[in-house]
Amino acid sequence: MNAPTTNNPNNFFTLSDFDFVLPTELIAQHPAPERSSSKLLDGTGSAPAHRIFHDLPNLLNPDDLLVFNDTKVVKARLFGEKPSGGKVELLIERVLTGNQVVAHMRVSKKPHPGETIWMAGGAFSATLLGRWPERDGALFRFVLSNDAGDDPYQLMDLHGHVPLPPYINHTDEADDVSRYQTVFAKNPGAVAAPTAALHFDEALLTALDKRGVARASITLHVGAGTFQPVKTENIAEHVMHFERYSIDQTTLDAIARCKARGGKVVAVGTTSVRALETWAKTGETQGDTNIFITPGFDFKVVDTLITNFHLPKSSLMMLVSAFAGHAHIMALYAEAIAQKYRFFSYGDAMLLTHKQ
C-alpha cells in the first residue's frame, strides 16, 4: 500500500524559507578518519553545544531506543555502450523480479524498447523494456543477463560502482566501498547511504550497549530522489519520490516497550523517521512511501533525531524543520557554518529533539 503524501494545509512556509548559503569548502568530500570522530552539534538545549559523535552515549538515557536503517548500498552505477558506440550510464533504482531492474539512464540519444546495451565492456547486457511506471514514467525498465546467469545484485557487485552523491567530486575509490556503508548494513537495495548512521562504529555501539540504550532497526531503501531539490515555491505542490520500507514486529515491540517505560525513540537519520512515521499514519509495516514531512506535521513516534546536515531547499531540510522548529534549525545551520562543520553525506551530524 502506498502511503499518501502528507502536507499541512495551514503551512505558510515557502521554498525560499529553507534556503541558505553554504561555502563549497564545507561540503565533505571524504569521511572523517574514524567514523565516530565526526563533530556532533547538540541542538537539544537552549543553546547549541559542540561535541564529538562518540560523546553520544552520555547524551542518551538507558530507557531510550535507537532505531537504525539497516539498508545496504549497492554498486548501482553501471557503464556501457549502445551498438552504435554511444556511451550509457545506468543508475539502478530498484530490482524487480525476473532479472528486471528500474534505472535512471544518462545517454545522448535514448535507445528504443527492445534495444540491447552492452554493459561493463560486454560482461553483460541490458535490454530496454520501456519506461517505468508504464508510458510516461521518468525511469526505465531493463532486463539484465549474462552467460553465467548472475542476478542483478551479483552483476552490480561485480561490475558496478558506488553511487556517490552528485556533490562529491571524485569517482568512487576503494575507501568509499566500506565508508559509504554502515557497519550494520544488511538488506541490499539503496542507492544512497543512510548517512547519519555512518558515524557509528563497533566501539560506539558497544558503549551504547553498556549505557543500556536499546537498539532496533527498520529498512528503507534510499533512492536517488533523496538528492533532488524541491523546485516549486509553493512546497505543497512538490511531488515526493517513493521509497520502499519495511518494519518488523521485533522493532514494533521494542518501540512499545520504550514508550511504556518513558524512554525516547531516537531515529538515526531521516530515513528512519520516514519509515516510522509512515507506519504511524497508515498502519502499514511495509510498502512504498512518499510521505512529505513539512512544518506542522504531527509526529507520532520519533522523539529525538540524529541527522547529518542537508541540502538547501531540500525535502529533508523541511523534515528537520518540522521536527525541531524552523527558526531553531536555521540558527543551528548558521552556527554550523560559522564553526566550519562539514556538510552532507560524509559530513558531521546534529542531535535534535522534537519541538512539541
% pLDDT > 90, the chain: 92
- The pLDDT tens digits for 200-238 are 999 999 999 999 999 999 999 999 988 888 999 999 999
Domain ranges for the chain: 2-73+176-353, 77-159
Q: How does strand 39-42 pair with strand 49-52?
A: antiparallel
Rounded to 10 deg, the angle between the 326-338 and 315-324 helix axes is 110
At the fourth CATH level, the homologous superfamily of domain 2-73+176-353 is: QueA-like (3.40.1780.10)
What stretch of H or E contains 324? helix 315-324
Number of neighbouring beta carbons within 10 Å of residue 18: 27
All three cell numbers of 103, joined, read 534505472
- The pLDDT tens digits for 65-117 are 999 999 999 999 999 999 999 999 999 999 999 999 999 999 999 999 999 99
- The pLDDT tens digits for 307-345 are 999 999 999 999 999 999 999 999 999 999 999 999 999
Q: Report residue 173 CA to chain centroid gap.
A: 20
Q: How does strand 77-81 pair with strand 116-119?
A: antiparallel
Whether 77-159 and 2-73+176-353 are alike in CATH topology: the answer is no
Q: Rounded distance, CA 29 to CA 12, Å?
A: 35
| Class level of CATH domain 77-159 | mainly beta
For residue 307, the cross-strand partners are 350
